[in-house]
Amino acid sequence: MKIGLVASGDMRESANIACWPAQLDMETKLAAAVQRFGHQLVRQHRTKPSGHGFIAGQREGMQIFADIDPTMPLIVAEAVWQYSHHVLAGLKKHRGPILTVANWSGQWPGLVGLLNLNGSLAKAGVPYSTLWSENFEDSYFLQRLDVWLDTGSVTHDLSHVIPVVDPALSDEDHALVQDIVTKIQRDQVILGVFDEGCMGMYNAIIPDELLMDIGVYKERLSQSALFHATQQVPDDQAEAIFNWLTKRGLKFHFGRDGASDLTKDQVVDQCRMYIAAVRMADDFGCDAIGIQYQQGLKDLLPASDLVEGMLNNADRPPVRREDGTEIRANQPVIHFNEVDECAGLDAILINQIHTAIGQPVETTLHDLRWGDITQVGGRDEFVWVFEISGAAPPAHNEGGWAGSESFRQPAMYFPSGGGTLKGYAKAGQIIWSRIFVEDGQLQMDIGRGEAVTLSADEADRRSRATTYEWPIMHGVLHGVSRDQMMARHKANHIQVVYATDAYEADRAMAMRIALAQSLGIACFRVGSHYLP
C-alpha cells in the first residue's frame, strides 16, 4: 500500500534551506520504517530548485492537497519548526487516516512543529494520530507505526490525565478566588494583540466568543502602529533604558557586523520598542500584550525578544507617562510571546493568583523543545529542555539580571538582529500549564514539576543542542513520562511559573484550577503532585 507524505515548512526561505538536510535524513529513515512493514512512503510534493522540499505557503499547500487522493493514508513528517496553516486546509478536508511524525531532536526543532500542528488539528476537530522517534528503529515507535498502518489510528497511555472537580481549598483561599472571579467579571480583561496568527499558529488563537463568556476581550493592535510608536521614542529615553540594563549587570555580546553580530544600535532600538510597548499597553488599558514579531516587523526592527523579557519582569526599567508618573511600577507588563492568546489568558490567571498569595508573578511560555535522560541528584531523570526566543523574564534566570546575557538573534530567523535574554533557569518548584481549545471549549492542563540545575558541561551541551542564544529551563515534570507528555500536549508552548516551595506551589495550582473552573474552563490535572 502507498502511504502519502507531506512536509510543512517555514515561510522564511533561509530557514527552509538550512533545515532541509535534517528533514531529508528523517524522511529517509521514516521511509525505511514504513517499508519494513511492506508499504511504500510516497512524497506528494517535489524538492524545489531552491534546494528544499517543504510546503512554504498556504496557497501552495492547498494546490498540493488538491492533487492528493483524499482517502490515502497520510503522514505529515516534521523535523523542523513549521507553519501549520500551510497544511491545515488540506488536512481539514482529508478523509484518510492522518499521522503526524517528528524526529526526537532539539536542533530545529521538529517536536515543536509537531506539537503546534497537533494543537491546531485538535482545535479544528481533525482526527489524527501522532508518533515521534529518535532513530525510527525503537520498539515504541515501530509497534505503533505498525498498528497505524494496519488500522489507521494509534493510541498512547493517558492515565496521567485526570479531570479535576472541586479542588480542596481553605476557606481563605476559596474567598480569594471568588474575589478574583468577581473582579474579572466586573472590571473585565483586555488582551492587546499585535496581529494574530503568528507563524501559522492557529492553535494560539482563542475565538472571541469563548473569551467574552469569561469577561476577556481583545484589543486588536497593529505591528505597524508599534513600529511607528517605536520610531517616536527619543534617543535619550532609549539610552536610559540601555544604561539601566547595563547597571543591573546584563552582559551584551557585541560585535561590529550587524548582519551577523549584535550591535549597540540594535539593542537601543529594542529599548525604544520596550518603551513604546509599555506606553501602548497603558494607553489601551491592556492587561497583557502579545507582539507577533514575524512577517513584516522582522524586516523593520530588531527582534522583540529582549523587550518581552523586560516586560515580564517585576524588576524592569521604569517607563513614564507624559505627566511623569511611572507605568505599573514594580509590576510586569504581561507579555505573551508570539501572540499566543492561550498563554496570554493563562498568564493573566497566574498573575491574579500569585499576586493574591504573595508568590512570584513572573511567568513565561517556553517551547516544549526536547529532552533526554540525565543525572539529577544522583539519579536518572528525564529532563526536558524548555526554551523560547523571548518573553522569559530574568527573574527566572540564575542570578537574575546579572546572571543573564544577550546574544544576537540567529540571522536565519531574525534578519534585523536584536539581543536575546539568555540565561539558565534557577532551580525551584514550578507549576506548568497549558490552556487550549478543543471541542469548541476552553480547557486547561496543569501539573507540577521542578526546574533543576545541571552541571555546567551538561547545561552547555543541552543549550548547544538547541538554540544557544536563547533562555533555557531544565524541567522535570512530576508523574509524566516523556511519551505521555507528547501524547497529550496540544501545543508547542508550555507555561511555567515558580513558587517559593512545594506547599505554595500546590496551593497556587489548586487555586488556579478553582479560578479557571469558576470561569468555565475545563481543567485536567496532569501527572502527580503533593495535594490529596
The average pLDDT across 458-486 equals 97
Share of the chain above pLDDT 90, in %: 96
Q: What pTM was estimated for this model as a whole?
A: 0.97
Q: What is the pLDDT of residues 88-143, one digit of tens each?
A: 999 999 999 999 999 999 999 999 999 999 999 999 999 999 999 999 999 999 99
The average pLDDT across 192-197 equals 96
Cα 141 from Cα 143, distance rounded (Å): 6
* pLDDT of 165 above 90: no
In the structure grid, which three cell numbers stand for residue 162, read together? 485526570
The per-residue pLDDT of the chain, averaged, comes to 96
* pLDDT of 166 above 90: no
Question: What's residue 321's pLDDT?
Answer: 97
The average pLDDT across 406-412 equals 95
Q: Look at residues 265, 290, 260 and name the one whose alpha carbon lies nearest to residue 277.
A: 290
Cα 110 from Cα 17, distance rounded (Å): 15
* pLDDT of 403 above 50: yes
The average pLDDT across 212-239 equals 97
Question: What's residue 529's pLDDT?
Answer: 62
Terminal CA-CA length for the chain: 51
Q: What is the pLDDT of residues 364-400, one digit of tens each?
A: 999 999 999 999 988 999 999 999 998 999 999 999 9
Q: What is the pLDDT of residues 212-224, one digit of tens each?
A: 999 999 999 999 9
CA angle 163/388/9 to nearest 5° reads: 90
* pLDDT of 532 above 70: no
* pLDDT of 466 above 60: yes
